[in-house]
Amino acid sequence: MSKRQPLKLLMLHGYTQSGPLFHAKSRALIKHLTKAFPLHDVSAIYPTAPLRLNPADIPGYEPSQEPETEPLEAYGWFRRSNTANPPEYVGLDDGLDAVAKVMAEEGPFDGVIGFSQGAAMAAMVVSLLEAGRKGAFERFLDPNVASEGKAEGDAVVAGVGFPKSFDRLVHPPLKFALCYSGFRSPGARYRAFYESPAVQTPILHVLGSLDAVVEESRSRALISACVGDPEKEGKVVWHPGGHFLPSQRPYLDAAVRFMREQLEGGAKKNLDEEDVNDMDLPF
């Protein structure tokens, strides 16, 4: 009997969650994927983000009257600064370092699945592994380039540098990402993740029409940062709920369809349709 091919997924939890909590919340999805890919040995790795959150970091947290005996099991990949204009993500380098470490130790991974802040991280991670991304980071280090077209009231700032941990990381580009309630990191500092070039890795965006946590405009900004026309290509899926991972059959099937396309159709398509830019032609 032939050995099953590994299908390794990196699972990035949302803000205030943890690896074990995301494992519980994504159980239906992983079970469905395991069943849908019988020729693969599906494994999902759930790191916990490095930033341990305090009650004050958690929106809407109401402390109980009883004294807290256990520290909160709530973590984040970064914290959004309330004072920086344009927006700044404090601790983002630590979050990316943690992801790079898991990829180095547990990889290679085929794809990444993220929820909310983890979906924002997933988009940044696939972008960092793409060819030509370092050049974009170099361009946006110039504050005038990064701040071109900035919002009124925003300071002129340089883009962030290419993360050192990804500079050292040896890992092939990921084949796909699934972003549930994802969003783009806003403002001038983070343009290199999404522009010059646009994000090339195929991303399936799954969004809740009643999501009151992530504004639709922020999710649409991430969709717009992807190459091509994701909506027309069927890479944007809406569910009629809020800020969660939908576990109903149609949304699980959408994930399977998308992944199958990237794992099986993707390789065939690339062979059939060689990009004219890659051809050695005398014109």
pLDDT in tens, 44-100: 999 999 999 988 777 776 666 555 556 678 999 999 998 889 999 999 999 999 999
Domain boundaries, the chain: 5-62+69-273
How far is CA 239 from its chain centroid? 19
Contact between 55 and 72 under an 8 Å Cβ cutoff? The reply is: yes
Q: Tens place of pLDDT for every residue, the chain, 283 residues?
A: 458 899 999 999 999 999 999 999 999 999 999 999 999 999 999 999 999 998 877 777 666 655 555 667 899 999 999 888 999 999 999 999 999 999 999 989 999 999 999 999 999 999 999 999 999 999 999 999 999 988 888 899 999 999 999 999 999 999 999 999 999 999 999 999 999 999 999 999 999 999 999 999 999 999 999 999 999 999 999 999 999 999 999 999 999 999 999 998 744 433 333 333 333 333 3
How is the chain split among helix, strand and coil, in percent rounded to 5? 35, 15, 45
Residue with tokens 């794809």: 111
Distance CA 253, CA 36 (A): 9
CATH number attached to the domain at 5-62+69-273: 3.40.50.1820
Residues with Cβ < 8 Å from 234, sequence gap 6 or more?
none
DSSP strand pairing (51-52 vs 75-76): antiparallel
The residue type found at 140 is F
Rg over CA atoms, the chain: 19
Round to whole Å and give the CA distance between 251 and 207.
10
Q: Give the separation between CA 1 and CA 26, rounded to whole angstroms.
A: 31
pTM, full prediction = 0.90
